[in-house]
Structure 1
């Protein structure tokens, strides 16, 4: 039995509401994804053994950018699995999933301590929550019990001036009734031996009100160690000690609700690998494809490739340039040259036959590429690799030399939908540049989406591909499309395709 067998059983078990898995490896990643996508139950995974045994110098950008653990995190997230890093985070996730789901980002914060309220507000911002204003009716109700009049009527609300702890239940219920409030964080400190009974009543009330209004109430208590177990026995209700822990867990609840219950979440129906349609005709064994093979394969999947011709000498280059039309680029096209720029194997913006001749004299090689110049656009990167646990995965990031310098990439398991392609584009930190930051060129994002979906399909249908780099894909102004100007593919030996059930 492996983790998938246990997961399948727990998904079918009506008595199991939340599932937790501790993994040191993944036996069959795509089956794990299929199972997780099939259920609305929260699945929490604590994955250890994350260090790579070796750090060999990568020949492809993708190898350096998509280590095994990065792929695991992306794959789990893609199907709504919640990955945590510590046992404490796993326990907090179990606590939060015992409450009603957080159905929106609007949070009410109530605290007996002003300092705790400020820290909770910081944590709320950190985890993406919004603190909407309370209504005047709510504040008028709170004012009934205010003594010194020092309370600031805000969200977060400091109840340090209210000493009637039985009144806290009314404040909590009023907060849950507020229009737009999706959940409440209540941070409560109390004096042992004095506030014990009223605090126990607050725990019971939190459980009852959370269930009645079907909104989560994250109750944070700061008892001394001798009373912690006693408070936990007061009711079958989760208690947190730190607002940050509670809100980090609550963010998982909101993410889960959005992923599993909102109508626009439609993950791929299956992540199982089909028989490769290219396997019967493509018999490459551990080799880098020639530029012509790469470009024709990409064109077969409707990717726009800049016009090109492969040539062997200047006379052929001259004819190709005249046919393609100047300006052109001249590149070394030998398969064993991976990074052409590093060896001085690229000449750009060649506008005349004389310039072409001089460029040709500077380059050494057996095969050359004449290609139509594509200017005035954003350079982005699309990559792919065959992961040993999850099969083909796709990467996206800013292109050119920045892809390795910045390492700002998003990874997903192939195939992907257009919605997921859009998430990849907006998921990179440099996405503002593509959106026309400070009056800059607004990129044709729809064309990038189409390319990402097409490349993911290519990788999915050709599991013999071990590495793929499209760098750069030049993206033109909105509505004008994009163009592939450089790409590389490395295939794997056919005999290795049967590892981990990918064939």
Structure 2
């Protein structure tokens, strides 16, 4: 944190590659620092120049006698390693590296990026970037981006795209009273990652909200852990690109970071408390709203409009976002009737029905009544407010402005937010500027206004459930069972990277999962004897370290009820296996009771490159492969997260009971998901797990098949490796 403080609150800057050419970044940096009012030391570095913009120029940073906190390196990529060594000898805390040509350019660039990171670490220099657009501290004038007139405010901006930053800064300049506390172009994240910046902003008193544009994360799990710590104190608004295969390819080439699985990222961000945004045009408005207004403590929102069209559309949009439009209390409706025309709608949405045409102050009076209703958590005002003096009569201007004052004070007093949509927003009447002065955001787009209201509710719901959320931290190996450890170690000893089905089920069973014991038959006689002990119909399945997918090899036979069927099935399975892979080592066949019919689901785990272990749940059969009706979560799971995974798939009604069929045992299914989470946490050696199918009944579940694949290299099962 101390290094990051010296970087983002630097008292002195060396501009390496300073230039007298106005088109060069080295010139723009010096010029912008002076123009922005930076009061610290500015030290241009260029061995070919004596003075730049009236400042003495130095041959190298070690020639500077005064202490230097930060270096801005504007020279080509190949020069960076040597310059970093000089910075280290000078005692400079950090370097902002503008140049591209590193990991985002492929293997050769990655080698250069590794070199500069090694050099920086050996000389105790922290890196912003490389391939960064720079940093800005709006409160000190530390502007290393070259942008002028960036609005000052309380939103910290972290982005992997300079163009996105320019878009957001331009939007804030033209349409808002809000601005930025800091801007950081994180670039390739070679050294300082998103999570470290988040920790800094969590403690920064000037920052009230954090706005992020991310293409890929170097360490997604550490990022989530820091988000969890930060999001309760300050809202985090994020747009992640790379949702499509084309977008992921673009993200990789642009930043050298992998975009990962979109659904995994989305759900993990939401669980950590991030407000996910899907469209760039909504990014700044949502950040502006969350940094300005109290959040909505429930999902109940009122709508106040001066036209039925706006009221109806707003109601639809808010409902689509999962919000409720509750009927106002009898007392609130009675008070509204006292001040509105007889044809006004007063239940919610409230339509003033012309009651504001001669007196727009009626909006403030209605807003007060509505927000006094205990059942209402927030208010959206939609329509013409701000334009009455333009639309009807100039004398209404003062009434609109008075109403704006009243509504601003109402938000402060009630602790409930108001978001306003106005057709006259682009005209910028003074009444709307007054609303912004009080922190009430105003938008011309009804869609954006409703998205902002939705974000206030989502953040409020997260805060109310914060204590039930996961920290995304594992206690590796803490719940490992000795028997399961022996099974994994035995597989390693035999040179296997996966467990046999009966071994995988034994690992699950040791953690309480309802996995029936299955017995290994080495001969047909063994199979017959074991089937008699089990009783009833049985299933036989091949056991071979060389055959992972049993069905593909003809290695499964179902519904075997007598001795002849069992013997014939045993021999057929062995013959099929040898035909499938002639040199396969065959251990025999598993004998297990035939499971009764039910609904088939799949549960699987894998290691995501950005977020680590994740779990998937979905309906089994053709729906998984064709429709991809699945849900994802980053592990570990909470009980709430497990239940939501089940409920959010499209086929959830099948589990709830469909067309007269009984509801299935979702509680047992939820418990199995928690057990899977515990198993992955207990044995870091497991790379993938596949339970397919799991058969769900109205009471209980059966794990019909289980597969566990181990990591290529052994992991210390105590959790210390």
Q: TM-score, normalised by structure 1?
A: 0.87
Q: Residue 463 and residue 199 in structure 1: after superposition, are their counterparts in 2 closer, same or farther (change >3 A)?
A: farther
- Matching of residue 70 in structure 1 with residue 263 in structure 2: yes
Paired with 1:332 and 1:199, the residues of 2 have a C-alpha distance of 80
Cα deviation, residue 446, structure 1: 2.4
Question: Of the candidates 197, 206, 217, which is equivalent to residue 6 of structure 1?
Answer: 197
Paired with 1:470 and 1:110, the residues of 2 have a C-alpha distance of 51
CA contact (8 A) 1:383 1:467 kept: yes
CA contact (8 A) 1:110 1:185 kept: yes
Q: Residue 293 and residue 220 in structure 1: after superposition, are their counterparts in 2 closer, same or farther (change >3 A)?
A: same
Question: Of the candidates 540, 561, 566, which is equivalent to residue 330 of structure 1?
Answer: 540
- Matching of residue 94 in structure 1 with residue 261 in structure 2: no
Segment drifting more, 266-275 vs 398-407 = 266-275
- Matching of residue 252 in structure 1 with residue 446 in structure 2: no
Question: Of the candidates 282, 293, 298, which is equivalent to residue 503 of structure 2?
Answer: 293
Residue 351 (structure 1) aligns with: 561
CA contact (8 A) 1:384 1:393 kept: yes
- Matching of residue 134 in structure 1 with residue 337 in structure 2: no
- Matching of residue 43 in structure 1 with residue 236 in structure 2: yes
Cα deviation, residue 326, structure 1: 2.3
Larger radius of gyration: 2
SS at match of 1:118: helix
- Paired residues for 1:252-331 under 5 Å: 252-262=455-465, 265-272=467-474, 274=476, 281=489, 283=492, 287-331=497-541
Paired with 1:305 and 1:408, the residues of 2 have a C-alpha distance of 25
- Matching of residue 154 in structure 1 with residue 347 in structure 2: yes
SS at match of 1:187: strand
CA contact (8 A) 1:133 1:155 kept: yes
Q: TM-score, normalised by structure 2?
A: 0.62
Cα deviation, residue 2, structure 1: 1.3
CA contact (8 A) 2:505 2:706 kept: yes
Cα deviation, residue 358, structure 1: 3.7
Cα deviation, residue 350, structure 1: 1.5
Residue 225 (structure 1) aligns with: 426
Residue 455 (structure 1) aligns with: 676
CA contact (8 A) 2:695 2:702 kept: yes
SS at match of 1:439: coil
Q: Residue 267 and residue 351 in structure 1: after superposition, are their counterparts in 2 closer, same or farther (change >3 A)?
A: same
- Matching of residue 216 in structure 1 with residue 410 in structure 2: no
- Paired residues for 1:480-499 under 5 Å: 481-494=700-713
Cα deviation, residue 272, structure 1: 4.5
Residue 372 (structure 1) aligns with: 593
Question: Of the candidates 357, 365, 371, which is equivalent to residue 176 of structure 1?
Answer: 371
Segment drifting more, 247-256 vs 191-200 = 191-200
- Matching of residue 26 in structure 1 with residue 217 in structure 2: yes
Residue 658 (structure 2) aligns with: 437
Paired with 1:386 and 1:161, the residues of 2 have a C-alpha distance of 60
Cα deviation, residue 234, structure 1: 5.4
Residue 252 (structure 2) aligns with: none
Aligned alpha-carbon RMSD (Å): 3.0
- Matching of residue 203 in structure 1 with residue 404 in structure 2: yes
Paired with 1:209 and 1:75, the residues of 2 have a C-alpha distance of 36
SS at match of 1:247: helix
Residue 62 (structure 1) aligns with: none
Paired with 1:137 and 1:421, the residues of 2 have a C-alpha distance of 42
- Matching of residue 79 in structure 1 with residue 272 in structure 2: yes
Segment drifting more, 254-263 vs 80-89 = 254-263
Size of the alignment, in residue pairs? 486
1:272-321 alpha-carbon deviations (Å, 9 max, x no partner): 56369659936488833322332222222222212312234422221221
Question: Of the candidates 597, 616, 628, which is equivalent to residue 407 of structure 1?
Answer: 628
Question: Of the candidates 603, 612, 625, which is equivalent to residue 382 of structure 1?
Answer: 603
Paired with 1:248 and 1:69, the residues of 2 have a C-alpha distance of 21
Residue 170 (structure 2) aligns with: none
Segment drifting more, 23-32 vs 335-344 = 335-344
Structure 2 unmatched ranges of 5 or more: 1-191, 249-258, 578-585
CA contact (8 A) 1:386 1:463 kept: no
Paired with 2:335 and 2:592, the residues of 1 have a C-alpha distance of 73
Q: Residue 106 and residue 224 in structure 1: after superposition, are their counterparts in 2 closer, same or farther (change >3 A)?
A: closer
1:15-43 alpha-carbon deviations (Å, 9 max, x no partner): 32211222221122222122122231211
Structure 1 unmatched ranges of 5 or more: 56-65
| Higher RCO structure, 1 or 2 (CA under 8 Å, sep 6+) | 1
Segment drifting more, 430-439 vs 408-417 = 430-439
